Structure 1
Amino acid sequence: MKFTKEYLYQKYVVEGLSAEAIAKNVGCSRDQVKGKLRRYGIRKKPFKVGNELYDNREWLYNQYVKLEKGYTVIASELGVSYSTILSRILYFGWELRGHNEIDKGAPRRGAKHKESSLLKIKKSRVKKRINTSCTYCHKEFEIVLSAFHKSERNFCNQTCFRSFLKDNRVITEDITNSAAYKEWRLKVYKRDGYRCKMPGCYSQSRDIAAHHIYPKKTYPELKFEVSNGITLCKTCHEKTYGKEEQFIKMLVRVVQRMND
């Protein structure tokens, strides 16, 4: 059911239903009904204009229509609720501007900030920082506190980071031509029927590889354990490059189900 102005007026004013009763009939929340009633300016009691500044038709016309201020902007300037200004706009019969046109404050048009405002802006942009030492060169430097807590190792620049990786690079032994590796690979292929066992992959390709579930670089003691191997097609094997740790739990469960 669409919240048309005519429908809500009929139910709320003519039939005298409450916002909660209308919400139950339509199948929505009471706040949604109240919001629409407020936006359409539908009231059970007649609206009365007082003697406040915002009750002055000419003044409000100048602010809302000529200066094109949003009703929430006007309300904020006067220190009243936005519904107070909205109700006057609807009462005076002016067209309510759409979401993209409302609440756009007047542009600054080149006006400069005050010194006090600039100081507030600068303080808001200064993040909490801490002094620490570089893991590689041990030089002290300043770092954002959140970044400091993200990693156990912190580097003063990219050069130190690359140098650390180079010095601590783990060079793995090439076992692909060994007899033990070929025997391990054959056992993995036979167990898996020479087909890819990645969940969700139904490839029948013979272009396959025996993948180490626990990387042989990190777990060299498991490199020839058949339970640490699984058959993957070329496409699925490429998906694991550099992200082997993310696939461990899933692939271990696949092998366990095959062994059960």
Structure 2
Amino acid sequence: MIITKKYLYRKYVVEGLSVKEIAEEVNLTKHSIRGKLRRFGIRKKPFKIGNEIYDNRDWLYHQYVELNKGYTVIAKELGVSYTTILSRILYFGWKVKGHKDIDKGAPRRGKKHKEVSLIKIRETRQRKRIITSCFHCQKSIELVLSIYKRSENSFCNRDCFISYLKENRVICEDITDSAAYKEWRLRVYKRDRYRCKMPGCGSQSRDIAAHHIYPKKKYPEKKYEISNGITLCRSCHEKTYGKEEQFIEMLVRIVQTMSD
């Protein structure tokens, strides 16, 4: 389902639903709904302009439109919340600029760094490095410290990594041609009405897949449970590749909501 400004205005202002009620209705988080309300400038109470410098339409127009600064940059310069600036931009009726629309160099263009700042920049660019060993062949390798901390297993090159994967490959039973799998897939599709259930997707495509919420490789006892399946479009299904466990909690909640 595509969340439009007209839909949110009707639900939030006209019908008086809370953020929680709207989130439950569209299967999204409360944080997502609040963000969309902010982005569309939808309020239950009328917005009031004060006497601060950012309340001055001409001043804000000069900063946001003429100097092409982002609202987060303006907020940081003034020491206020970015929503304070964003709400006034929406109130004055100006288009909210995306990341690509903002001139990132505008705040510092024509200015020179102080010597103290230059020293700090040089120090940050001199990355700390560490000597460790390849996880597969035990060859000595040099890595940037941040990369070493980010990954438990480090490899000397791509070929070594591929060799490790081949030697430690987990062979999974191919069940896609079995009658039991086809019956399970059909029951999942029928329950979900042949539509993608990924939050915020709204795709009406019939190019779908029955996704195992708990991967069948690690949880073979759950592979034919209907509660362990959910319909996803091909695009959303590809997003889960290699990251299946990161989606488990969210997809389980969606299935439970459909079952209630």
Whole-Å separation in 1 of the counterparts to 2:69 and 2:98:
12
1:247 corresponds to 2:156: no
**Structure 1 residue 113 displacement after superposition:** 2.2
2:189 — aligned with what? none
Q: Quick check: 105-114 or 77-86, which moved more?
A: 105-114
SS in 1 for 2:2: coil
Whole-Å separation in 1 of the counterparts to 2:169 and 2:4:
54
Contact 1:12 1:19 in 2 (8 A): yes
Q: 1:31 to 1:105 in 2, by over 3 A?
A: farther
Whole-Å separation in 2 of the counterparts to 1:107 and 1:38:
25
Whole-Å separation in 2 of the counterparts to 1:93 and 1:243:
58
Q: 1:243 to 1:154 in 2, by over 3 A?
A: closer
Letter in 2 for 1:50: G
Say how many residue pairs are matched. 152
Whole-Å separation in 2 of the counterparts to 1:102 and 1:84:
18
Q: 1:15-26 maps to which residues of 2 (within 5 A)? A: 15-26=15-26
**Structure 1 residue 29 displacement after superposition:** 0.8
2:78 — aligned with what? 78
Whole-Å separation in 2 of the counterparts to 1:109 and 1:75:
18
Q: 1:110 to 1:78 in 2, by over 3 A?
A: closer
Contact 1:53 1:59 in 2 (8 A): yes
Whole-Å separation in 1 of the counterparts to 2:67 and 2:110:
18
1:13 — aligned with what? 13
2:58 — aligned with what? 58
Q: 1:23-38 maps to which residues of 2 (within 5 A)? A: 23-38=23-38
Whole-Å separation in 2 of the counterparts to 1:4 and 1:249:
46
Q: 1:210-229 maps to which residues of 2 (within 5 A)? A: none
1:171 — aligned with what? none
Contact 1:71 1:103 in 2 (8 A): no
Contact 2:133 2:139 in 1 (8 A): no
Q: 1:55 to 1:149 in 2, by over 3 A?
A: same
Whole-Å separation in 2 of the counterparts to 1:23 and 1:125:
44
1:225 — aligned with what? none
Contact 2:64 2:71 in 1 (8 A): yes
Contact 2:19 2:34 in 1 (8 A): yes
1:147 corresponds to 2:131: yes
* Off by >3 Å, runs of 4+ in structure 1: 107-112, 148-155, 242-246, 248-251
**Structure 1 residue 250 displacement after superposition:** 7.4
**Structure 1 residue 111 displacement after superposition:** 4.0
**Structure 1 residue 147 displacement after superposition:** 2.2
Whole-Å separation in 1 of the counterparts to 2:109 and 2:38:
34
Task: Output the aligned Cα RMSD.
Answer: 3.3
Q: 1:162-173 maps to which residues of 2 (within 5 A)? A: none
**Structure 1 residue 247 displacement after superposition:** 2.8
Letter in 2 for 1:45: K
Q: 1:112 to 1:45 in 2, by over 3 A?
A: same
**Structure 1 residue 103 displacement after superposition:** 7.0
1:87 — aligned with what? 87
1:235 — aligned with what? none
Q: 1:147-226 maps to which residues of 2 (within 5 A)? A: 147-148=131-132
Q: 1:29 to 1:153 in 2, by over 3 A?
A: closer
Unpaired segments of 5 or more residues in structure 1? Answer: 129-143, 156-238, 252-260
**Structure 1 residue 101 displacement after superposition:** 1.0
Contact 1:73 1:105 in 2 (8 A): no
Contact 2:41 2:90 in 1 (8 A): yes
Letter in 2 for 1:43: R
**Structure 1 residue 244 displacement after superposition:** 8.8
Letter in 1 for 2:167: F
Unpaired segments of 5 or more residues in structure 2? Answer: 142-158, 172-260
Whole-Å separation in 2 of the counterparts to 1:20 and 1:46:
21
